[in-house]
Structure formats: C-alpha cells, structure tokens
Structure 1
C-alpha cells in the first residue's frame, strides 16, 4: 500500500463522514487490498505493549466494541477495525465469507506492521478468529471468544431473526443507536449471503482443534446461544487450552453491555490469573468459571 494512497483516503473520508461521539481511541483510515478500511487505535500505547485486535459481529461495525476496547487501551496496543464491507469501511467487490474475513484481518495486521496479536471477538467475530487461528497459527497469541455465534442453533434465518429480536429487549436501549444504522448499511443481500456462510462454518470443530490459550465468555441471558445443558455438553468435549466463563445477567453484546466485567476477565486471562470478581465492584455482574481445559495454564493467585 502506498502511503500517499492511505493519506488521500484519510482526507477524503474525513470530509465525507459525519463526526461521531468522541472516543478515547483515535479514528484512522488505511487501504488494504484496494479497499478503504476504517479503524480505531490506542492513542499512546506503552512501548512494549502486547497487541490486541477486537473483531466485530455480524452486520455490525467495531463501534459497539469500544466500551471494552477503551478500558484495555492503556495496557494493550489496541486496534478496532471495521472489516471490509462493514461499518465505515469500503465494500469488497465479491463480498466476503468467514475465511475471507479472517484473511482480511491478517492483511490488516500486515498493513499495520503487526506480526502477532491477541484477538478478541464477539458473535460472528469468533468464527473469524477461529479461522484466523487455523490459517495463521503463528500470528495469534491468545483468543477471546465472546458470545460465539453461528451453527445449527441459529438456523434458519427466521429463527436467527427471532433470537436477535429477543436479544434486543435484553440489551441496553442505547445499543439500538449503534446496531440499527449498522444493520441498515450492511443490507439484505449481504445479510443473506453471510448468514449462510456463518451458519455452515465448522466452529465447534475449530474450537476443539485450538492449540492456544482461549477464553470463551458467555452471557446467561443470551438467546442466540444454546442453553446450559448444551454448553456443558460442549465443554465436556473440550480438553485443550479453553477456559469458559459466564457473566450473569449478560445477553449477547457483552462487549457493549458488560464492558467492565469483560475487561476484568480479559486482564486476568492475559496474565493467567484465577477467575474472580473484581473486589472493587459494588454491584452488577458476577463472573463464574464453568470449564477449564486440562491443558489450560493453571491459574495463579494475585
């Protein structure tokens, strides 16, 4: 990518894009494989900070991931891109499926000069991360899978729509101000194509094959996820590096609704600390460890 091309795209986008609510992260533009890509980045990351990239869900931009990303931005060199075809980024001419989006995420890291990162995903972002880990195992340090979506439980599309509608009643009202414009921009044709790709992706197989430390975070009020019995059944099949945790009271968009609890979990996971509630909390969500793979690093006490 030529630097002049990226700079030109930056200036053009700044002129045509309305101002949004201020974020602690810096708005930036680049061009990846000929597509304008919008992203957000830590303003002043520590010199030797580990890199962390947040990967958004189906039809969404990275905007709803900001509450969690901002809480971690002082400790990790943080990136929150809108993948091609989503949010404020340009569209890829052929559209992208799950493997394509994983490749786009890798190309974005190439563009930013990042060799290895921890990836934090929500919903569809989790299959993208699983594919990334399968295709580029040397480029991912750890994986955080929040409300992993896709598979039989979300089929057919009519069922997924009902699940999303139910979830909407369980999310903070301000979430609609982010989700509705993002879904409208993504459009019906893109929704139909990507939905098929998402629900046919072998997420469970990829999860069972993981060979890196992985944190799975679920909300106990998430209508897009199977019930506790199925979660325990799947957990019983996982004997690798996976740690699974539930946040009580959370629905699907945990990165937005329960940012403080999620950021707390991620910090402890990154440092191999035991999963405990933040002792400074005066109320709110409670975190509960529900599974620890036999090959997961033993948790250290503080």
Structure 2
C-alpha cells in the first residue's frame, strides 16, 4: 500500500480478525495471543508501515493519521474491510481513529491497554512509564521486543509518540459507532485505569473488562484471558 510492501502474519481458520500492534511493535511479538485466537478465527497480525516486515520510507509514517490511512487502504486491498480489529496500545488509538473516520471499515473493536485521549504525556514521561513496566513483562518478550524496536528505529517511534499529544482523538471518539471492548490490565503503569474509564464514557456502547495482573503487554502476559474476552465479545456482537 502507498507503494510500500505490507505484510501480515496469518494463522488459523474461521472468520477474520485483524491485530494492529502498538508503537514500534511487530507481528512476531503477538505470537502467544494469536495462537489462542486462531483456535476459532483467522488472525491477521498486521505490520504497519515501518514496523515488522512492512516497508516504510524516510519520514513516513509521520502521524497517527498516516497509520490509520494505511490500515484503511490495506483492509480494502486485502478484502478485509468490515473485519473486527484488535489493537494494542497505540494500535488501539489507530483503530478508534479508523472506525470514526472510515465508517464501514470495521464491525467491532477490541482495544487492549489503549492510548487515545489527550492525557497522553510527553515522550519523556511515556518512556518513564515504560521503564516501570518492563520488569513486569515476561523476560522472553525482551529479545522479540528489542528486534521490533530496532526495526522501526528511534526516529519513527519518536515522531509517532510526539504526534500523540497533537492527535485530536477526543472529537472523533463519539463517532465510533461499532461495538467496542476495552481491555485493562490492572498492573499496567503505562495506561492508567481512569484512562480506560474515560474512553468508555466517550465511546458509545463501549464496555470495559479488567484482566487482574495484566501488564501493558497484556496480550503477551495473559494471552488466554485476552483471547477469551475477545472471542466471547465477538460471539455476542456477531450473533
């Protein structure tokens, strides 16, 4: 898309579900949750431009809107328009933006530890929160995570993190008109519980589920719980 090679890791069989990663993350960081979800769905672990196996270009993507526009075009080109989306961290903000700006592009959202309201702190504070979170994650995630961050590079990650403070998500959230599940890990120092509650109040018909002990990388630390909540939610809204 946009003249760039775009990759998605595909696993399982059944109705489609697209996974949208967090800032600097890559499809290979979501193997554990994809394995659980793939028991009943065909999971597409999508790599945004400049992430994972997908190409980027100098200075692109520059904004959250760039990520959203690319995802919308990729869904259309891949025949996945209307598929439910599972977004993690910044991926949650991207799928909110997509549902509001591109009606019909998805039928349901699942956002794990999502960003998406103007309280997103300055980059330095975000890094401090991530530093607090790292000791809580599985050590086995360290190498895949470092590989993903090196692949994306500090310039891309800084641009997108800095853009979060300017991204006007607030006015868009009331226009998210599809069923939405927000997953909140109770041990996540990056996304505060009140942030998830604030999102729930603004997005029509959104619901929150807490995952006790869940860290910021809740898709990795509690993949069975994330998959259970996701699959139960989709079964309820699709039937």
Confirm or deny a common fold (TM above 0.5): yes
Matched, 1:178 2:144: yes
Give the match for residue 42 of structure 1: 11
Using the TM superposition, give the Cα deviation of residue 151 of structure 1 relative to its aligned residue in structure 2, in angstroms. Answer: 4.6
Would the aligned equivalents of 1:145 and 1:217 in 2 still touch at CA under 8 Å? Answer: yes
Q: Which runs of 4+ in 1 moved over 6 A?
A: none
Give the match for residue 109 of structure 1: 75
Matched, 1:216 2:185: no
How many residues get paired? 237
Q: Which runs of 5+ in 1 are unaligned?
A: 1-31, 273-296
Would the aligned equivalents of 1:157 and 1:195 in 2 still touch at CA under 8 Å? Answer: yes
Using the TM superposition, give the Cα deviation of residue 75 of structure 1 relative to its aligned residue in structure 2, in angstroms. Answer: 1.7
Would the aligned equivalents of 2:85 and 2:95 in 1 still touch at CA under 8 Å? Answer: yes
- Aligned to 1:88, the other structure's residue is in SS state coil
Tell me which structure has the larger Cα radius of gyration.
Answer: 1
Aligned to 2:53, which of 64, 76, 88?
Answer: 88
Give the match for residue 69 of structure 1: 34
Work out the CA distance in 1 between the residues paired with 2:184 and 2:198. Answer: 15
Structure 2-normalised TM-score? 0.90
Give the match for residue 233 of structure 2: 269
Would the aligned equivalents of 1:127 and 1:201 in 2 still touch at CA under 8 Å? Answer: no
Aligned to 1:99, which of 46, 59, 65?
Answer: 65
Structure 1-normalised TM-score? 0.73
Per-residue Cα deviation, 1:147-167 (whole angstroms, up to 9, x for no partner):
012555442111111101111
Give the alignment's Cα RMSD to 1 decimal: 2.1
Would the aligned equivalents of 1:153 and 1:225 in 2 still touch at CA under 8 Å? Answer: no
Q: How does 1:109-128 map to 2 (within 5 A)?
A: 109-128=75-94
Would the aligned equivalents of 1:210 and 1:241 in 2 still touch at CA under 8 Å? Answer: no
Would the aligned equivalents of 2:182 and 2:196 in 1 still touch at CA under 8 Å? Answer: no
Higher relative contact order (CA 8 A, sep 6+): 2
Q: Which runs of 5+ in 2 are unaligned?
A: none
